[in-house]
Structures are given as C-alpha cells and as structure tokens.
Amino acid sequence: MLETMREFGSHGWEVLVLWVGDIEPNTGKAHVVQAFVPKQKAISNEDGVGYFVNGETLFELNRDLSDTGLRLIAQVHSHPRRAYHSDADDRYAIVTAEGGLSLVVPNFGSAPAEPTSWAVYRLHGREWREMSTREVETLFEVIDD
C-alpha cells in the first residue's frame, strides 16, 4: 500500500486505498481481508492536491460489498506532508458508518508502516475524531504475510 502511495506521490498526487473485511459479531474486532485502490482521478491545482472517486465507482463498491458480505473498514489516503484530516477529507469521506476509520499517511506514503505514525480518525456521529497513539496501538495489529 505504501509503495502505491509513494508511486502516486512521485507525480505529486494523493491516492485513496480502501480496506474491506469483516467484523466479529461478538467482539467487534475488524479483520481487513483486502486493500485496494479504487478507480479515481488525481487532482492537482493551485488549491492543492486530492483525488475524486466518481459515483459509478462508489455504486460498484457498494454492490461488491453486498455480494461478498464484506464491509468497508477504512479509507486510507496520503497527504503531501503532514498527516491530518482536512475539511475536504471530512466533507467527502467514503466511510460513513459509525465507528468507521479514516487514516492519513504523511509524505505521500514515505512513512513507517505502523498506523501509529499516521493520523487515525474514527467517525463518531457526524464528526471525525482523532485517535490517540495509545488507542491506535490497541486498535491495530499489523501482520506481515
């Protein structure tokens, strides 16, 4: 995933990666089973950088999730420098379910592979709240395959 972010970043572009998986009914623990880059258009102009995912791509994502029974766990995207949730990140979030996650990776993906090195936000009501390092440490277990 970080390699993809660095590749897009080499062109001065942000990129969105989506994590899908399942959630254990008893514990609520999420298991990410797939990370993928949806079709998107890179945006780079005098106002900044970003990405745009069109309605057809979102429809296909929802259809595929419905067909497989998987859930959208998190949206992960890169920023050129500092990792934070911008106004655009709040406004155009793809994850909309309570408790959903939005992770922002700094420096176009040139960052450690640990989520504690990123900005991690969780959706509460209609507000994205940044999680503390301690919360992120308990939430994520990174497993190398």
Q: Residue 33 domain-assigned?
A: yes
How many folded domains does the chain comprise? 1
For the segment 11-34, what is each residue's pLDDT rounded down to a tens digit? 999 999 999 998 888 877 778 889
Task: Report the distance separating Cα 100 and Cα 102, nearest Å.
Answer: 7
What pTM was estimated for this model as a whole?
Answer: 0.89
Any idea what the CATH number is for the domain that residue 119 is in?
Answer: 3.40.140.10
Spatial distance between the Cα atoms of 145 and 143, rounded to a whole number of angstroms: 6
Residue-range definition of the domain harbouring residue 109: 2-139
What own/partner pairs with CB < 8 Å and gap ≥ 24 does 95-99 have?
Answer: 95/123, 96/123, 97/71, 97/72, 97/123, 98/123, 98/124, 98/125, 99/123, 99/124
The predicted model gives 100-113 an average pLDDT of 94
State the chain's mean pLDDT as an integer: 90
State yes or no: pLDDT of 143 exceeds 90. no
In a domain, 134, yes or no: yes
Structure tokens at 108: 């176009």
